[in-house]
Chain A
């Protein structure tokens, strides 16, 4: 399968192939601030299956462990990577795919910081949180 997407203004386009290893709703406070949204959804693809077709995202080191990319023209949040896994995998914001519904969300992550008024896809499982600090 090939899944294409891009930012709001169209300056950046990407393609992911294969199947995502994770498709999740993230409730962490950093994703919420980055997106300006109450919950941010992600699909994780192998780095070897991800290609930027057009444009150059801007990188932001959102913590010592992670890097986020966004469109410098329209601000759309596009990717998240743990630095120590950046050669292997990349998380792509589900909402920037051309057909987000083609990648059904499977679970909630970092649900301990879910906003109390967010009631989205409540039937999905909640991933247990690791002891490691949040991204």
Chain B
């Protein structure tokens, strides 16, 4: 397949993945909301061995024990969600160069949702198990 590329607003941090994105979904948790300033954040993930930063590196913030979020220190774009030790890296769907091509399949943490959705997707109160 062709590679998927993306990066931050200012272009300092760029990445490339060489496999299909896994688990595209939207999160409405309050931490994602605060981290992005947005009502919901779309996430995809890639196996670490099929993903690389091709320019720059995110700056990391430990948002809770065992979890770090990565962003561009120059422009602030939210880029990464990564629990320690997980073999996949979570990437913000909206940082892809072509986010229109990757449709989320479900919503999580809908108990803290404050927008009205009409996309017909399944929605879960917490993590999807």
Contact = CB atoms under 8 A, between A and B. Distances in A.
Interface of A: 6-9, 25, 30, 32-41, 58, 60, 62, 68, 70-78, 93-96, 100-101, 105, 115-123
Contacts of B61: 8-9, 73-75
12 contacts: A35-B38, A36-B78, A36-B92, A36-B94, A40-B36, A72-B73, A73-B61, A77-B37, A93-B38, A94-B37, A100-B114, A105-B115
Interface footprint category on B: 35 or more
B118 interface: yes
Contact of B39 (A73, A100, A122): A100
Contact of A35 (B63, B69, B73, B94): B94
A120 B41 CA distance: 13
Contacts of A6: 34
Given A35-B38, A115-B99, A117-B104, A75 B77 contact: yes
B6 to A, nearest CB: 9
A36 B79 contact: yes
Nearest to B26: A38
B55 interface: no
A41 B75 contact: no
Given A37-B42, A75-B69, A122 B118 contact: yes
